[in-house]
Structure 1
Amino acid sequence: MSLRTQSDGDDDVEENENDNEVFDILRDLYPNNLDDIDGSSSYIFNDVEEPNMATKKFYNLMKDSQDPVYEGCKSSKMSALLKLLHIKTLGRWSNESFTMLLDFLKKELLPKVSNLPDSYYEAKKTIKDLGLSYEKIDACVNDCMLYWKENESLDSCNICGASRWKSNKHIGEDKCKKNGKKIPHKTLRYFPLKPRLQRLFMCSKTASLMTWHHGKKKKDGTMRHPVDGLAWESFDKEFPNFASDPRNVRLGLASDGFQPFANSKTPYSIWPVVLIPYNLPPELCMKQSNLILSMLIPGPKGPGDAIDIYLQPLIEELRDLWDNGVETFDASAQNHFNLRASLMWTINDFPAYAMLSGWSTKGYLACPCCQKDTRSEWLSHGGKECYMGHRCYLPMNHRWRKDKDSFDGKVERSLPPKPCSIDEILHQLEDLENIVLSNDPQVKKKIKHDLRGDNWNKKSILFKLPYWKAQLLRHNLDVMHIEKNICDSILGTIMNINGKTKDTLKSRLDLKAMGVRSTLHPIEDGDKFKLPPAPFTFSASEKKTFCNFLKELKVLDGFSSNISYCVNLKDSKISGLKSHDCHVILEHLLPLAIRGLLTPLVREALTELSMYFTLLCAKVLNVEELN
């Protein structure tokens, strides 16, 4: 059950959908008495298993919660309570003010109402019984450890010695309390996974969809769902016992930091960890209401390599779900089974890739695929690493291999680097088993890369999963992040936006130092430099034409945000584009906007780049096109 802020016109639709969902759950409880859901009858099961006590408790709670707030009221007790709690969260009410509101509703405004809770504590207890609660686990201020299990009662960190509790030197530690309790520096919110996976099988419709993937692998050379990929097939062959029951859940893990406050100047980054259930059909597995929030990692800074410290509760639960499973009632088959789960891969942007995999995505060995064979070059003027030599991935007879002028001035004859096997990776990680993960500069110990010869910072906690090393694909890059970075770079460069363009004096000096693209080398004019015009940069009139196209563009509602708000015609600039806006511009609008602008070669290159991302992000992928 999801909480969403909708317009008044959608309220009835949302209530009807919730009522239908509740009725489906109640119908599963009374398979032979569909109309008798008033609680007067007993359980009747013919030739089916009776739900276990935990499932019965949930069903009974849902049934009791569907009583109207008062006679004739459209809202049930549960929907009213959830909406009130949602408003409390959005309005940042205190617990006391919420209790005062409930007291006012029951005593003065709706005196005949008796089924609303008396206080915020009782309301929260009702939600907890539904399984919508979370566990609070205190963490070290320097991300060294969790105050969890045997360390739950500690008052200071075992590693850096920092205090667990907030204190104020001026007013004293005793006054730095809330409701008489000490306030911890950091608190991890962890949402237990097992009850939420069990919940997926409590409704017969959802339970039947959880086996959708069984026997649905496409054999026509297309991919519509992860079940069509080689990684899924490889996992089935490696673990046939797990694959034998299609009800076993396969999950993906995604994480990234975001700014939770309206004031973007507030330096704070919170990291949600989300799980995606891939058992569901492609149109449902990525739907917002089906995503599983696993934990909220607190800020104010990102956890960095110490994200493994926060992932400990999730990894422990995933290991237990793999080794032992959990007894679950299948409402579709009306029987119990032992539910197991596995983590297939992670999804993240490139910096988060480093945090989860342990391979640093910075420096001269930044590529996690090429590793030691990464071909990088230091740009002395730009002050950064440049990653070259990608022509080695082309066929040996490709014409670009001999094209020196368009690339780095050399003929490419080398073969692509061979990816490391899992045995080689584990061998490289042997001496990183017990490395200290901490953001305290005095405690943090890193292996010097120049001595090790690689870019590993740690051995990922994901290797504690028994099946992780057998995965064919362990980490995925989020294409939306890549699209935004590329779109921003293209727009900044072709429009020559100051501070956004990649065509700068330093980059031109680096071209001169490398001895390539002589037509773009800067020309000395006294103590200054002049930059020859580049064929990939708009003229003043072309820039105005491009901006007018985006300013006057009309698209279907929901296709994108109003991109015209991001266009400044006066200064001929574009700013403030969101990720989805960049996705739309790069894949759909850019080839149209540059018609008749720039040179034919540049237009062709940008159009092919647009087509590349369009094919890559299609709902149906053709394997031959991907190759």
Structure 2
Amino acid sequence: MSDEDRRWMRMSRFTSEWQIGFKNYIQSIFGGTSEEETAPCPCTRCRCMSYQTQKEVRTHVALRGFDESFIQGEGNGPPLLVEKDNADEGMRDHADGSHELISSLINGVVHGEVIGNDEEDPNGSAKKLYRLLEEAKKELYPGCKEVTKVSFIVMLFQIKCMDGLSNNCLERILRLFLLVLPDGHCLPTSLDKVRKVVRDLGLDYQKIHACVNDCVLFRGDYAERDNCPTCGSKSPGMNIDVYLQPLIDELKELWNHRWRRNKNSFNNKTETREAPVPLTGAQVIQQYESFEQPKFGTATKKRKQREEDSRWHNWRKKSIFFDLPYWKKLLVRHNLDVMHIEKNICESIIGTLLGIDGKCKDSDKARLDMQHLGIRHDQHPVLENGQYTLPPSLYSLGKDEKIVLCTFLEGVRMPDGYASNIKRCMDFDGCKVSGLKSHDYHVILQKLLPLVARHILPEDVARPLIELSRFFNALCSKELVQSDIEKLSSSICRDFMSA
């Protein structure tokens, strides 16, 4: 298919040209095949690196659109249809971080972000890609399901870098593995061959020589020089900035992180501001003095919306805790109850999945907010005959799926005293849940929801819910150090941004 024939892929997904072209594309790929067969998905997230069923390809492309590299014809080979049961699970469903890393690295290879350049022979670049794909599928030894050849090598080099192992030490470890692995393994027999795989993945490092007197690094204009253009003192001292140059270059690149430019996932604006500075107690009291305390009581009239929109501060009332003489000096003035937060989140999730009135967060107002922010265009409400119609969302459950969810929750048997009798809280006729306690929602969110989500929800919805469950499960562990909290903070953002 020529670039001229693919112009419709860049059109709006609501136009008739795009819908007709998409229908013909699906027919050309999946025509005459069974529902279980899969093919490379050309959406902006999968980028032909993940095999999906016809239903999944339809959903992905309808929501995300075609990847630009696919439209331009990069990596455009014949679609490989495989049975779903035999599809490469390593490229689709691995939740392990090493497999996600490998998938991202191979994606980088495809799009020229890791290896390959304009001067490289396209056939040579394609050979590297296919070799990487084949290596990523290989079991470390026959019957090994835990790791592949490439994931094992990546984890081995992670240990080397994190623990500071020398090349000689890694060579001895490699010999030990070669001694104990069963026959038929595909682990490289030397450290040089292991490095070859690492280099192809773009994980190799570059050595930069430095002047013995710490004057300059032989990089940039000095890359080809054999002697130092100037000399300094015997120890770095103030010249330490010379060695920080590569770090500064990487930090500049980090500052231009894709999340700052990701307008669609936020308020449709590029973020360039610094993080807000937390207010001190004295600054909070100073803001308190600028407005009057509202009157309490059920008979008190609520504030008008225009008053809420026009206030310059973020306070609705003065907190009584600031009457305590020491409160303004506390560094942390908030104590958030994790279990009640879990209750609020899980109650909203269950209410949204089952469409419970008053608990469902997918409302006209929520869709209008998306339209106002200019995000999630496929979810914007459609005005017909003076009434709004909400396009179906990925997480919308049909009657059968709702019954499956209710049946699962009703059939769970808990140890005595572990949780309430959830069965008594189920209403099968209306597919509703009521009367659950905070601890019940705690159990559902951490233990039960991940089990049923994967059976009733698409992968793009089930995976974030499972990661959210893992997040709270780790947060409620008996032992939690600061480094664990930092990892949780970064992982929860990453998981929900990639969803």
TM-score, scaled to structure 1: 0.33
Tell me which protein shows more strand as a share of its residues: 1
Q: Which has the higher contact order (CA 8 A, sep 6+)?
A: 1
More helix by share: 2
With the length of structure 2 as denominator, give the TM-score of the two structures: 0.41
